[in-house]
Amino acid sequence: MKIFIAKDYEELSTIAYGYIKDIVKSNPRAVLGLATGSTPLGIYRLMAEDCAQKISYKEIRTVNLDEYVGLSATHDQSYRYFMQTNLFNKIDIPLQNTFVPDGTGDPVAECRRYDALLDTLPRDIQLLGIGTNGHIAFNEPGTPFESRTHTVTLNQSTIDANARFFQSINEVPRRAITMGIKDIMAAKRLLLVATGTNKADAIAKALKGKSDPSCPASVLQQHNDVVIVLDQGAASKLVF
């Protein structure tokens, strides 16, 4: 496991983007596992800037981690909308090469469809953020490490954390579809980014605590190719 502690958010984004860029340059047909949330935004900005100059995503495929149940692609808080406005519309990737779970329709059928899709798209790298409770994607504490795509009822801490994006906390969807931990672990390389002291406990538990479902991100200890990029706040409770 490689751990970088960046001096600021810009450096964190540059280090993390470097790993994605190397993959896209060495394999123009690579499959990138992507995440939503605030932390990857700097990486997506760098991807867009580089694409405007020299790096093409025309044959790249992307697979996202999760989506809210009930939100359509045009809802401004859906993860499909987030990806289009923050990345896909700013690079030259054809939209048909981008995959995000569909939050409309029958969630159970959508989970099975997504599993079948994941089986055809082995990820070269999976980008991850982490929740303050140690979640990865929407795999909340207690999720078995063997899980595949499933629907979840969001924990109160996740609803509270995501309320900042909605007009009121009542509008935050209570359910989501998420890639399971087994499929996250199937990626060749995992790249986790985290910022801020509010993530420090989760990072310490994930990287130095016992690897078990009480902290979903602690599963990363069982993967053989993991890169962690933190700012000083997120790294502040790590003891080496």
Just list the catalytic residues.
66, 133, 135, 140
Least Å distance, CB 53 to ligand F6R, is 26
User: With 0-12 CB in 10 A as exposed, 13-18 as middle and 19+ as buried, what is 5?
Assistant: middle
131 touching ligand F6R, by CB under 6 A: yes
Beta pairing, strands 175-178 & 150-153: antiparallel
Among 33, 42, 101, 129, binds ligand F6R (CB under 6 A): 129
Question: What tokens appear for 34 in the block?
Answer: 């992507």
Coil, helix or strand at residue 74: coil
126 touching ligand F6R, by CB under 6 A: no
Task: Between 58 and 160, name the residue whose CB sits nearer to ligand F6R.
Answer: 160
Build a one-symbol-per-residue string for 34-53: x at contacts with ligand F6R by CB under 6 A, - elsewhere: -xxxxx--------------
Range in contact with ligand F6R (rule: CB under 6 A) among 70-78, 87-95, 130-138, 219-227:
130-138
Question: What tokens appear for 15 in the block?
Answer: 């280090």
Among 135, 148, 189, 205, binds ligand F6R (CB under 6 A): 135
Task: Between 36 and 218, name the residue whose CB sits nearer to ligand F6R.
Answer: 36
Least Å distance, CB 199 to ligand F6R, is 7
For residues 103 and 69, is the Cβ–Cβ distance under 8 A? yes
Helix residue ranges, H only, the chain: 9-26, 41-53, 79-86, 107-120, 156-162, 181-185, 200-208
Helix residue ranges, H only, 57-210: 79-86, 107-120, 156-162, 181-185, 200-208
**Interface with ligand F6R in residues 65-94 (CB under 6 A):** 65-66
Among 43, 47, 69, 136, binds ligand F6R (CB under 6 A): 136
